[in-house]
Amino acid sequence: MKGVRVLIVDDNPLVLELMAKGLESHCDVQAAADGADALLKIVDEAPDMVICDYRMPGLDGRQLYEKLRARFASKPIPFMFVANRADIEEKLRPLVDGVEDFIIKPFFIAELVRRAKKVIDRLQLEKLQKSSARPGVIQGRLEEMSMLDLMQSIEMGQKTCRLTVRSGGNTSEIYFAGGQCQDAKMGALEGEPAVYEAVRWSAGEFEIDFNASPSRTTIERSTTGLLMEALRLMDESQQELPQGQPGTASD
């Protein structure tokens, strides 16, 4: 999914390249080799998010963060720090304003991408909302933003809304309050079963109406709990497929 611009900053060219390759399919990536280079790029054209190493020669990650927070134009930019555990606990943890996450070194690129993507999805949702032709309503396709991404973004953004999804002639309506799933219906299905069925859909259209709110509660699990259970059920159903059927490996 493109449209969100992420600036990655690290003085190690290998780490910079690995991060860029991991993120490039999820956002528009721009790279900076040090803090000073990053600051110039941000002043020239502000990104939507910054992922920055802490320990760098010259202008380090914390100094870059503080300079961004001191400028009105760059103050709102979400920031992620990459640092060792001691630096995070002793020097960076108090920085809560605008810091989305701390990535502990050493790290797997897949883990950094997973955590960054949660923020990227939320930012994409906010961009869609701002560009919507109908106030408070955004539309899109599941091929661009999956059910998992949509629900995680609504939860992270603590949104109150109705998520309507249409796929293969079926329609699902899922209601959220403060990011937590409260109610769902799909044909004869209600509550959690309706969510579990909708999460399986990989193609179709979605609409999020921020003017709508739930009128009842049929779901007790948190949004995260729902998604974890949905993934477990999907994995379980894949394992139950007969050998040789699509979705299984025969050798």
* Partners of 31 in the β-ladder: 8
pLDDT above 90 (res 166): yes
Asked whether the predicted pLDDT for residue 242 surpasses 70, the reply is: no
Q: What is the CATH number of domain 5-126?
A: 3.40.50.2300
Q: What is the pLDDT of residue 246?
A: 41
Residue 25, CA distances (Å) to 3, 6, 34, 236 in order: 11, 12, 23, 28
Mean pLDDT lowest among 10-14, 146-150, 177-181: 146-150
The model's pTM is: 0.69
Q: Kindly indicate the confidence band of residue 2, based on its pLDDT and cuts at 50, 70 and 90.
A: low
Domain ranges (residues) in the chain: 5-126, 132-237
- Report the distance separating Cα 50 and Cα 78, nearest Å: 6
pLDDT at position 201 is 94
Residue 83 near residue 53, CB atoms below 8 Å: yes
Distance, CA of 72 to CA of 204 (rounded, Å):
40
Of 2-16, 125-139, 184-198, the poorest mean pLDDT is in 125-139
Per DSSP, helices labelled H in the chain are 13-23, 35-44, 61-70, 85-87, 109-131, 147-156, 192-199, 223-239
Q: Give 249's pLDDT tier (boundaries 50, 70, 90).
A: very low
Per-residue pLDDT tens over the stretch 93-114 = 766 666 888 899 988 999 999 9
Q: Is 83 helix (H, G, I), strand (E, B) or coil?
A: strand
5 pLDDT above the threshold of 90: yes
pLDDT on residue 86? 85
Give yes or no for residue 151 having a pLDDT over 60: yes
* pLDDT classification of 244: cutoffs 50, 70, 90: very low
pLDDT of 191 over the 80 cut: yes
Section 142-148 average pLDDT: 88
The 3-state secondary structure of 123-150, one letter per residue: HHHHHHHHHCCECCEEEEECCCCCHHHH
Summarize the confidence of residues 209-220 as an average pLDDT.
Answer: 95
- Please give the average per-residue pLDDT across 9-25, as a whole number: 94
- Indicate whether 6 pLDDT > 90: yes
